[in-house]
Amino acid sequence: MFNNFFINFFCLMICITLIGPGANLIPAAEYEYEDNTGWESAVEEDESEEERNQQKQKALKHFKLGKKYQTDQKYHKAIREYQRALALNPDMIKARRVLVWAKRDLARQRRFQTSSKENTLEALVKEAKDHYKRGRKYERENTPLEAAAEYKEAIRIIPGYPEAKEALRGVQAQRTLAPLPPAVTAAGSKALPAYQPVDMTSRYKVPASRQQRSSKAQQSIRAAIQKHYLQGCQMMDHGEYSTAIKEFELILEFEPEHREAQHKLNVAKKRHAVKVKKAKREAALAQSKGDTMGALSALRDIVNIDPTNEEALEAWEKIKRENKGIVDEIYRKGVKVYAKGYYTKALQAWELVLDIDPQNKKARENIKKVRQKMELMK
């Protein structure tokens, strides 16, 4: 018995030596806690992944709707849907590609409508009314920045549009109803000091019912400012500086102290000027070399960047008059490069044909065909 006691005591001393005198047994509850933490983290990851998938599905719906509008030649609506798709899923490459195509189609459509001698005034009035109606629709949906953008476009088409001017003043008046939050900072944007918005409601006594209405209106404005700021940044990343300028100018109409929008607007204007200057140099160089197609392409780019550039428009028309067979020449070049598998170059050639001759059915059909092929490519 003494031997058994000695053996048990000796084993106990060995265990204490190996484990250490300060060692404690870990309660089962702690193991359970650690298991729960891992489980909660996994659930959060699943929820985050599910949310991303939902965003992608919404983006796909906007993309498909944009495709339908583009097929119906409703390019303005198509562009808006593609932009919404990219806002939900910035990695959607196919939406980025078709957005560029839709903008080119819209620019071509506008040039054709402006240059057409028949029903020009009627077409312009209809286009302006369409923008005005969309503005009213956005107002009813409580999206004032979108409404303001539509009214401004209507006024651009018909400067004396009284209803659009009055509606724009009404929408812009909403910016003084209540203070706006600090500017939204997008990823990658330059850090700037936050500003202090002016609290208009603290200066005047506002009825409770109006304060409630103001609060709802301001929530819509805040959300719209964030969306348009991110869209403007996105357009800058894609080199669409004229569109970015419109986005930032629209923000500043509603919140003049938006520091980030001010900074981005200045950058976009500088880059826009550089882009126009570069296109002018390319046009001049192409003309000096006798490259008619290159000159037309560069001039077309200038007009797309700056539709009011009279110098580029006159040079464009002059080259068309002096080169009667240029359409067939460019079309045949598109056929040759398409046969070699250079789809981008073929698309550029046929789009240029359509810019010169908007009624060219062969070029239109070929553009549709090559775009379908390019959409299947990654």
Q: The domain that contains 92 carries what CATH number? A: 1.25.40
pLDDT of residue 206: 37
Look-up of token digits 């910016």? 175
Q: Are 228 and 244 in contact (CB under 8 A)?
A: no
Q: By the 8 A CB rule, do 312 and 322 touch?
A: no
- Give residue 38's pLDDT: 53
- Number of domains within the chain: 1
pLDDT value, residue 211:
43
Inside any domain, residue 76 = yes
Residue 8 has what pLDDT? 58
368 within domain boundaries: no
- Please provide residue 106's backbone torsions phi and psi, each rounded to the nearest 5 degrees: -65, -45
> How much is the pLDDT for 263?
94
**Which regions of the chain are under pLDDT 70?**
1-47, 111-120, 175-217, 378
Rounded CA-CA distance 84/312 in Å is 32
- Residue 56 belongs to a domain: yes
Q: Which two tokens stand for residue 1?
A: 């018995």
327 within some domain: no
Give the C-alpha separation, 334 to 363, whole Å: 9
Is 83 inside a domain boundary? yes
**Rounded-to-integer distance, Cα 232 and Cα 240, Å:** 9
Per the domain annotation, does 309 fall within a domain?
no
Q: What is the pLDDT of residue 182?
A: 42
Per the domain annotation, does 180 fall within a domain? no
Is 83:102 a contact under the CB 8 Å cutoff? Answer: no
> In which domain, by residue range, is 66 found?
48-115
Question: Given this model, what pLDDT does residue 7 score?
Answer: 54
Q: What is the pLDDT of residue 231?
A: 81
Q: Which residues of 1-33 are buried (b: 16+ CB within 10 A; e: fewer)?
A: eeeeeeeeeeeeeeeeeeeeeeeeeeeeeeeee
